[in-house]
Amino acid sequence: MKRYVLANLKANKTAKEFTTWLADFGTPPQTDTVEIIVAPPSTLLTQLQTERAVGLKVGAQDVSPYPLGAYTGAIAAQQLAELSVQYCIVGHSERRQYFYETDVDIAKKIVELLSFGITPVLCLDEPYIASQAQQLSEEQRTAVIIAYEPKAAIGSGHTPSVGHVEEVSKNIRQYFSSVPILYGGSVDELNCEEFLLVTDGVLVGTACLDGRQFAQIVAKCAAH
């Protein structure tokens, strides 16, 4: 079974710090059992594309809900695709909370990403599993990866029980039957393996900020 490990660097790292991060992370295990995705801020996507080690996949943290055009400040899916972006996080609770993104906005982003061959990593918490699914066609629902991200677990150091993650994954499966489901929220090198018992991978925030720590998480997931 293929595993996914996604580093969400959020709005962290200068170019110089990211060079250090890539050096600290080193060379990932050369195996096709684990898909290792790094999602830096968009200012560092070019750097990731050129300096990344073999085997690292390029991810983005956000995309415009619109195509190329007069949308000041936005980055279109077509522009991400040019930078070798293969995955893009959408619907993160921080985007919903601080940028007021709605299920409808997120559905538009998914349409843009899919039309340029980029796989959306759709973040869901329990309150909006059903409402978000309703905004997507059957075809779109089979073309995404889901990250179950309980808001209370994000950045808090508190994780739900594995049983709870399994339970919610079953609920997600009612709408997204055949796609990989990841867990995200205070994942680290000590707890990542337990979430792999009930999911297809992990989305890592705080614990990916140190390249060496992220490498440890990747190593555990690759060996699992």
Residue 204 engages ligand PGA in binding (rule: CB under 6 A): yes
What are residue 38's DSSP bridge partners? 7, 58
Q: How far is CA 224 from CA 195, 197, 207, in A?
A: 11, 9, 19
Block residue for tokens 């055009």: 69
91 vs 205, which CB is nearer to ligand PGA? 205
* Contact residue for ligand PGA among 34, 77, 154, 172 (CB under 6 A): 154
Q: Provide the 8-state DSSP code for 175.
A: T
Cβ contacts of 212 within 8 Å, gap of 6 or more:
24, 25
**Of the ranges 26-34, 61-69, 170-178, 198-206, which one interacts with ligand PGA (CB under 6 A)?**
198-206
By beta-carbon distance, which residue lies closest to ligand PGA?
205
> What is the C-alpha separation between 91 and 109, in angstroms, rounded?
9
Residue 5 engages ligand PGA in binding (rule: CB under 6 A): no
Nearest approach in angstroms of CB 82 to ligand PGA is: 25
* Contact residue for ligand PGA among 187, 192, 196, 218 (CB under 6 A): 187
110 vs 203, which CB is nearer to ligand PGA? 203
> What is the C-alpha separation between 194 and 162, in angstroms, rounded?
7
* Contact residue for ligand PGA among 76, 145, 203, 221 (CB under 6 A): 203
224 in active site? no
User: In Å, how far from its chain's centre is CA 41?
Assistant: 12
Helix (H, G, I), strand (E, B) or coil at 24: helix
Of these residues, 94, 101, 112, 149, which one is catalytic? 149
Contact 39/10 with Cβ under 8 angstroms?
A: no
Residue 150 engages ligand PGA in binding (rule: CB under 6 A): no
Question: In which element (H, E) is residue 195 found?
Answer: helix 192-196
Sign of CA dihedral 65, 68, 71, 77: positive
Of these residues, 92, 94, 112, 189, which one is catalytic? 92
Contact pattern from residue 64 through residue 103 relative to ligand PGA, giving x for each residue in contact according to CB under 6 A and a dash for the rest: ----------------------------------------
Contact 54/22 with Cβ under 8 angstroms?
A: no
- Site residues for ligand PGA, window 7-36 (CB under 6 A)? 8
149 in active site? yes
Nearest approach in angstroms of CB 4 to ligand PGA is: 13
Active site residues: 92, 149
Site residues (vs ligand PGA, CB under 6 A): 8, 149, 154-155, 184-187, 203-207
